[in-house]
Amino acid sequence: MRVVLAVLLLAAVPASAQSAARYPHNDVSRQLASKTGDLAASIKALQSTLTELQQLALQTKQAHWNVSGTLFYPLHELLQDHYTGISKYADECAERLLAIGVSSDGRAATIVRTSQIPEYPGGFTGDAAVIKWFTVTYLTADRVTQAGIRATEKTDPTTSNLLQEIDNALSKYQWQMRAHLQETPTDPNTGADIGAPRAASPPIGGPSN
């Protein structure tokens, strides 16, 4: 009876699970899971976003602890809010992977090896540098998430919807950093009040605002 049950369970795993072998740390469950469509696309999209969110969470805490300057307190509080949101969405990504029948990979070595987000600088960091770093970095994470949305919108709309929710949060976080130095028709903001003109401009080779 156990042998027959095992055979039936294995047969229920989608054929697309075979392509999941490209992701050796996302093992496919042998138990029944509610998933149809391209499993490999969902795994790649969710795992990539999970990795970037974990990296963001770590670097956000580093900045939260070490920001200094005139905007210390508002940035300290804002970064804590961002950390809470990012951690929540990382957990939802991992749980969606489990829901479709695969494991999630949240190991430090995986983050270091695969994340497109650089490590945040060590030591104290001035408020203008914090704004600049996160304005650019949120755009990087946003691009990864948007790629996942496009890859899963037809084959796995549930995953695509989750990634759209994450993308909306990342866009909001990016705006909340960018707004510190964003010019408006009535405010030619230069950043001079925090000692760093154009502090939110991306570095050479970085994404544009």
Q: What is the mean pLDDT of residues 39-44?
A: 92
Band of pLDDT at residue 33, cut at 50, 70 and 90: confident
CA torsion angle 33 39 43 49 (round to 10): -100
Give burial (CB, 10 Å; 0-12/13-18/19+) of 201: middle
Residue 112 lies in a domain: yes
* pTM reported for the whole predicted model: 0.80
Residue 82 lies in a domain: yes
How many distinct structural domains can be found in the chain? 1
What are the structure tokens assigned to 172, written together? 């909001």
What digits encode the pLDDT tens for the residues 177-200? Answer: 999 888 788 877 767 777 665 545
Distances from the Cα of 67 to the Cα of 48, 88, 112, 130, angstroms = 28, 23, 23, 7
Q: What is the pLDDT of residue 14?
A: 46
CATH number at residue 107: 1.20.1260.10
CA distance 160 to 209: 25
What are the structure tokens assigned to 29, written together? 């469950």
Q: What is the pLDDT of residue 24?
A: 46
Residue 21, pLDDT > 70, answer no
- Mode of pairing for the β-strands spanning 125-126 and 67-68: parallel
Range of the domain at 118: 39-182
Q: What is the mean pLDDT of residues 10-19?
A: 43
Residue 18 lies in a domain: no
Residue 30 lies in a domain: no
Residue 169 lies in a domain: yes
What digits encode the pLDDT tens for the residues 107-140? Answer: 998 999 999 999 999 999 999 999 999 999 999 9
